[in-house]
Structure 1
Amino acid sequence: MNNRKYGAQAPTEGSRIYAITVCVFASIGGIFFGYDQGVTGGVLVMNSFLEDFCVGYGGNTYSDCTSQSVALPSNWLSYTTLYNVLYYVGCIGGAFVGGIIADKFGRRMTIFAAGVFFCLGTCVLVLLSTGHHNISLIARFLQGLGVGNSSFSLPLFGAEMAPRELRGMLSGFMQMAVVTGILLVGVINYNISQIANGWRITNAIAMLFPIIVMLGIFFIPESPRWTYKAKGLAAAEYELQRLRKTQNVHDELERIVDAIDDEGRNKVYWSELWHPAIRPRLFIAMMLQLLQQATGINPVFVYGGQIFQDVVHDGLLSLLILQIVNFVSTIPAMYFVDRVGRRTLLLIGAVGMVFGHIVSATAFTFGCDGNTKEMNCSKVAGWIMIASTAIFIFNFAISWGPICWIYPAEIFPLRVRAKAVSVSTMTNWVIGAIMIGIPKLFPYLNINGVFFLFGGLCSLAGIYVYFKCPETMGVFLEDIEMLFRDSNPVVGGATTICSPPFVLE
């Protein structure tokens, strides 16, 4: 591959502060993404939720509803499975709808739409009368539409708005917002778990964040890349000048114009994602999202409260510890992603995740009776499992958590970017829905067998990245195309593409 270098030219000048503010503000929407993902694990063991939806459901008693996870009533297990799966189905639909809205109406509008869907679903859920199981499932689907839309739109918006040397941090800031939401809901759940209607309160709080974003999203600039494609050069220049806080945007604008004009501005069809120049990148984006879910992160948070309730007899505290680790570990990820690189962090994280899962599986093997109905784990084994799960979460949070959202938003040409990122995001939620069924494997693989399975999948994740994923750190979005020239990604080391430095006044 030929190197692509640039001679002397007008530097891209401006203030990074405003661009950072714009991206961080939009990413606040990610808090409700994380909050809603984290709320379920705590709500499912809250007395107020059990009283409203389990006790009396098909003749269930309170004793039935508070049994060990493997001895819960079958009708309750079916309901809670649907409660989670329909949420993921909504997320899949939200990612698809988000791609259409983002192309037709702009990046800001799809962020706004995410908040509308989520707030509508949450209002329906928290205002429900006791025992309306079917309506609660519809509400979860609507919430999923909002979360799936936000999970697609926020990394895309960040990637297109950020200065390239901060693109990883800002397009990945959604993950920082996500883990903030997960930690916040852990603290709230822990403190209101015994309050009447606690599950309604904790769900209602989630609406605060999308409301803030919806009120302010149209006061910040639109993506200059989408604006040029939809409204022309003058409008794109205006938005770029607003974003960079300088009139001197000619170099960056020229790159955007050249890239879009090369790609063409005709209507984009879904079939174009299968073009030989795009298809390999689509596979990479989809595989990263698939492998992110295959690490086991969502089952750990969704069912961790129930599992560790059985192991150390305090599910909410155990879950809160893991949520704190997740939050703290994501902070260095925001720093290292633009300094160490996407590829390197993914490889390091894969090794650490394998270690965490293997230790958890081994601790269960030797420290518990090994019976899913009567675990009888020693206290030492239980806390070793929590500590090693924390190691897994640390390594996930510094790598596979943020980067699997960052990378797909970077590697596609603008012409197909929204639809391609939509497909990769849908892949994430499809696999997430499948992973919700993990407890069904417990009777066949036992708890330790499932941890061993996750360890093996994390190994496959690292191998895939090693062979398929080139480094994109520090490269203009418009130059990343060179990494995939002739449909052969350049992997195995630092990129040979040199983009000119970003210069500040």
Structure 2
Amino acid sequence: MLKLIQNAVQKEMTNPSWKYSCPHVLVATIVALLFGYHLGVVNEPLESISVDLGFSGDTLAEGLVVSTCLAAAFAGSLISGWIADGVGRRRAFQLCSLPMLLGASICATAKTLAGMLAGRFLVGLGLGVGPPVASLYVAEVSPAHVRGTYGSLIQIATCLGLMAALVIGIPVKNIVGWWRVCFWLSTIPAAILALAMMFCVESPHWLYKRGKLAEAEFEFERLLGSSHVKSAMLELSKSNRGDETESVKISELLHGRHSRVVFIGATLFALQQLSGINAVFYFSSTVFRRAGVSSNLANVFIGIANLTGSIVALVLMDKLGRKVLLHWSFFGMALAMALQVFASSGIASNYGAFYFSVGGMLLFVLTFAVGAGPVPGLLLPEIFPSRIRAKAMAFCMSVHWVVNFFVGLMFLRLLDQLGPHLLYSIFGTFCLMAVVFVKRNVMETKGKSLQEIEIALIPQEYRIVFQEFS
């Protein structure tokens, strides 16, 4: 009898198999695939779109084609937390796929700049809702020992989507109207996401918060196996004791016991975008053409660097941890910007400047993909308490989209007015600021359950209250 009990305890203590949760995570990463695709879909075709729709040579209009999507994504991200908490994570995925389907169709059939902007706006609404929900979902359905790996899958899917957009855009200069095909193709994964989510699990964390305990147990069994259901439910009950039942207000995110972790999350996303990374993804073709490099070749190498870094992150995320990857990623990005500054300073010869410029750009993308790309989206759902997780993630993503919008809108104009030397110096400075911020403010969450992280982050003045409820 004693041996049977020991065997049962040992079985309970082992990590659950990743095979149960993996299919559900893979479906969720379709959002990231669409995110990457729509980031890059206008990169190569932008010149053809401007000619066909009658705004060729207008850099502000070209910036609007990029940034309208980002502005709408800001609006979508503001409501994503309320949607995710209101209808559940699965339904939120399905809702975000609808404007992406409709918006891409409008872009593909646009005859004017206004039509293109309308379609990009709808796509942006879906992109604003989708990524924060994907980060939440992956964090909540993943076993702790592979949560970092699953988080890296989001970055890899983003990378694959971006690569697909860049590669699919290559024939645009040789085939009239090819840019319309580029938009039509994006409707396929959006439709797959809406249908496949019908067969995926709902987040047990959301079900538990809604008082649906039996359903939460059932979903845990699908995700972890029957032997791990009791321990998972016990952890949920510990972390949710003492949580208030009323809705979370924005003021609560900015003040009070959770304000520090929200500040950390918002600042991480702001620094990620102020590094200038999405300017590379939006305008790499333009930048490389100015350096005398074939845009097709440049986009291929950008995609390879992004994918390579994402694979490295996949391997190392649960070995080295989030903080180490984030710290050295930003440091590598700062070094890459230093190479760009040197290349544009006039000190190097024309031949040397060419290699420093291209090498710096590829190093920048590579080091971004190792840490600064995948870690914030994974780390924030880990450090946010369960009660505020969805809405805090929405708030931080809104900061991401605001900064992203201005980078996308102003990059080409700033490049012309300030010159690459000064602009890349500014980007490098923000990368160094991020290194210092990560060192001082970010905790390591590798291998810890969401409940352990939540308890560890409770401010000292609130810990006694929490312990009384526990």
The equivalent of 1:421 in structure 2 is 393
The equivalent of 2:242 in structure 1 is 262
- Structure 1 residues 341-363: Cα deviation after superposition (integer angstroms, max 9, x where no partner): 11111111122111111111101
Task: Write the distance in 2 (CA, Å) between the matches of 1:103 and 1:85.
Answer: 28
Matched, 1:208 2:210: no
Question: How far apart are residue 304 of structure 1 and its match?
Answer: 1.6
- Counterpart AA for 1:470: M
Task: Write the distance in 1 (CA, Å) between the matches of 2:26 and 2:395.
Answer: 24
Alignment counterpart, residue 176 of structure 1, candidates 142, 146, 156: 156
The equivalent of 1:186 in structure 2 is 166
The equivalent of 1:398 in structure 2 is 370
Task: Write the distance in 2 (CA, Å) between the matches of 1:358 and 1:248.
Answer: 50
CA-based RMSD of the aligned residues comes to 1.9
Equivalent residues in 2 for 1:392-471 (5 A)?
A: 392-436=364-408, 437-471=410-444
The equivalent of 1:317 in structure 2 is 297
The equivalent of 1:32 in structure 2 is 34
Change (3 A) 1:133 1:225: same
Matched, 1:149 2:129: yes
- Counterpart AA for 1:110: A
Tell me the TM-score normalised to structure 2 length.
0.92
- Structure 1 residues 41-95: Cα deviation after superposition (integer angstroms, max 9, x where no partner): 11113x3x243123xx5xxxxxxx4xxxxxxx3xx21211221221111111111
Question: How far apart are residue 98 of structure 1 and its match?
Answer: 1.4
Question: How far apart are residue 482 of structure 1 and its match?
Answer: 3.1
Equivalent residues in 2 for 1:309-348 (5 A)?
A: 309-348=289-328
1:415 is paired with a residue whose SS is coil
The equivalent of 1:119 in structure 2 is 101
Change (3 A) 1:308 1:248: closer
Change (3 A) 1:264 1:441: same
- Structure 1 residues 153-174: Cα deviation after superposition (integer angstroms, max 9, x where no partner): 1111000000001111213421
1:339 is paired with a residue whose SS is helix
Task: Write the distance in 2 (CA, Å) between the matches of 1:323 and 1:32.
Answer: 15
Change (3 A) 1:220 1:302: same
The equivalent of 1:382 in structure 2 is 354
**In 2, are the aligned partners of 1:14 and 1:246 still within 8 Å (CA)?**
no
The equivalent of 2:4 in structure 1 is none
Matched, 1:86 2:74: no
Change (3 A) 1:248 1:394: closer
Change (3 A) 1:174 1:414: same
Change (3 A) 1:468 1:487: farther
Matched, 1:165 2:145: yes
2:160 is paired with a residue whose SS is helix
Task: Write the distance in 2 (CA, Å) between the matches of 1:153 and 1:357.
Answer: 32
The equivalent of 1:3 in structure 2 is none
Change (3 A) 1:50 1:151: same
- Structure 1 residues 239-289: Cα deviation after superposition (integer angstroms, max 9, x where no partner): 111222325410111111221233233333333223422000000000010
Alignment counterpart, residue 274 of structure 1, candidates 227, 239, 254: 254
Give the structure with the higher percent helix: 2
More divergent stretch after superposition (432-441 vs 8-17) = 8-17
- Structure 1 residues 172-221: Cα deviation after superposition (integer angstroms, max 9, x where no partner): 42111100101111111124442121111111111221211111102111
The equivalent of 1:359 in structure 2 is 339
Task: Write the distance in 2 (CA, Å) between the matches of 1:321 and 1:77.
Answer: 25
Task: Write the distance in 2 (CA, Å) between the matches of 1:313 and 1:11.
Answer: 55
Calculate percent identity across the aligned residue pairs.
27
Alignment counterpart, residue 128 of structure 1, candidates 93, 110, 117: 110
More divergent stretch after superposition (433-442 vs 335-344) = 433-442
Unpaired runs of 5+ residues, structure 2, are 1-8, 462-470
Matched, 1:242 2:222: yes
The equivalent of 2:19 in structure 1 is 17
Q: How many residues align?
A: 451
Unpaired runs of 5+ residues, structure 1, are 1-7, 58-64, 66-72, 369-376, 489-505
Question: How far apart are residue 21 of structure 1 and its match?
Answer: 1.8
Alignment counterpart, residue 281 of structure 2, candidates 275, 282, 301: 301
Task: Write the distance in 2 (CA, Å) between the matches of 1:407 and 1:13.
Answer: 21
1:202 is paired with a residue whose SS is helix
Question: How far apart are residue 444 of structure 1 and its match?
Answer: 4.0
The equivalent of 2:85 in structure 1 is 103
**In 2, are the aligned partners of 1:187 and 1:320 still within 8 Å (CA)?**
yes
Change (3 A) 1:391 1:440: same
**In 2, are the aligned partners of 1:39 and 1:202 still within 8 Å (CA)?**
yes
Task: Write the distance in 2 (CA, Å) between the matches of 1:384 and 1:96.
Answer: 40
Task: Write the distance in 1 (CA, Å) between the matches of 2:63 and 2:203.
Answer: 39
2:91 is paired with a residue whose SS is helix
